[in-house]
Amino acid sequence: MIRVLLVDDQALIRAGLKMLCDAEPDLEVVGEAGNGRDAISLAARLAPDVIVMDLRMPGVDGISATSRVLAERPATRVLVLTTFGDDEHLYPALTAGACGFLLKDAPPGELLDGIRRAAAGESPFSQEVLQRLVRRATSAGVQRRRPVEGLTAREQDVLDLVGEGLSNGEIAERLHIGVTTVKTHITALMTKTNSPNRVRLALLAHT
C-alpha cells in the first residue's frame, strides 16, 4: 500500500485527488494539508511514501516545505503538481529535491501512474514540464554540460529515453531489454554523470 499525503491550498483539488486515489486498491491517502507548514508537520507524523505537493501556497510554500520534509525524511518522495504557467518555481523545486513534476490538468491515469512511479523510486514528469524546466534552467544560467565521455551506446540510448520521460518499463519495451537491465543502466548513468536523481538525467539529456 502506497501512503499518500496531499498538499494543496485549494480544497477542490485535494478532494479530486483524494477521490482518484481512494478508488485505487494500492493507494491510501493518509492526510491532507492546505499549506506548507501543515505539510511538514503531517509528513513527520504520518510518514507518507509520496507527497503530492503544490508549489504556490500561503505562508510556507511548496518549495520550502519540500526542502524541510526531505531534510528530515530523505526517503520520502515529493511529486510536484504544477500549472502550465508556473515556470519560475520549477527549477527551485528540483533543487529542493522534488522527484517529479506533473501538470495539474494531466489525465487521471497519468497522475495515478505518477504517484506509483514516484513510490517505486522513479521520477515521473510531463513532457511539457520537462521542456519548460530545461528552458528555465538554461535561462537561470545553469551551465550546459559537455558531452559525457565513457557512456556505452546502450547507456546513451537509455539516457535519451529518460529525457523523453519514459518509465523503466517503457524503456525496457522500447529497447527490448529487461527492466532490471534498465535500472542497472540508469544507476551507471547517475554515477558517470554525477546526477543525483532521474530528473537531473533528463535535464542532461536535453542540454
How many domains is the chain built from? 2
Inter-residue contact 33 to 150 (CB < 8 Å): no
Q: Compute the C-alpha angle 191/80/200, nearest 5°.
A: 20
Give me the average pLDDT of each 10-residue run along the chain (207 residues): 97 96 97 96 97 92 95 94 74 86 90 95 80 64 58 91 82 94 93 82 76
> Are residues 130 and 158 located together in one domain of the fold?
no
- Return the SS3 of 145: coil
- Does the residue 147 lie in any domain? no
Q: Look up the CATH number of the domain holding residue 87.
A: 3.40.50.2300
Residue 147: other Cβ atoms inside 10 A: 6
Q: Cα(172)–Cα(183) distance, rounded to whole angstroms? A: 9
Q: Look up the CATH number of the domain holding residue 161.
A: 1.10.10.10
For residue 125, what are the β-bridge partners?
101
**CA distance readout (Å), 123 to 80, 99, 126, 149:** 11, 5, 10, 24
38-64 pLDDT, tens digit per residue, is 999 999 999 999 999 999 898 899 999
Residue 192: other Cβ atoms inside 10 A: 15
> Are residues 50 and 79 located together in one domain of the fold?
yes
Q: Cα(144)–Cα(190) distance, rounded to whole angstroms? A: 17
Grid cell of 189 as nine digits: 548513468
> Are residues 187 and 95 located together in one domain of the fold?
no
- Alpha-helical (H) ranges within 23-152 are 36-46, 62-72, 90-96, 108-119, 127-139
DSSP assigned state of 58: S
Of 108, 139, 170, which closes a domain?
139
Task: Estimate to the nearest angstrom the gap between the alpha carbon of 141 and the chain centroid.
Answer: 22
- Angle, in degrees to the nearest 10, between helices 36-46 and 62-72: 20
Number of helical H runs and strand E runs in the chain: 10, 5
Q: Cα(176)–Cα(45) distance, rounded to whole angstroms? A: 43
- Does the residue 144 lie in any domain? no
pLDDT score, position 149? 73
> Are residues 105 and 128 located together in one domain of the fold?
yes
- Does the residue 9 lie in any domain? yes
> Are residues 49 and 93 located together in one domain of the fold?
yes
Q: Compute the C-alpha angle 71/165/87, nearest 5°.
A: 60
Range of the domain at 170: 153-206
Task: Estimate to the nearest angstrom the gap between the alpha carbon of 37 and the chain centroid.
Answer: 21
pLDDT score, position 147? 56
pTM, two decimal places: 0.78
Grid cell of 54 as nine digits: 503544490
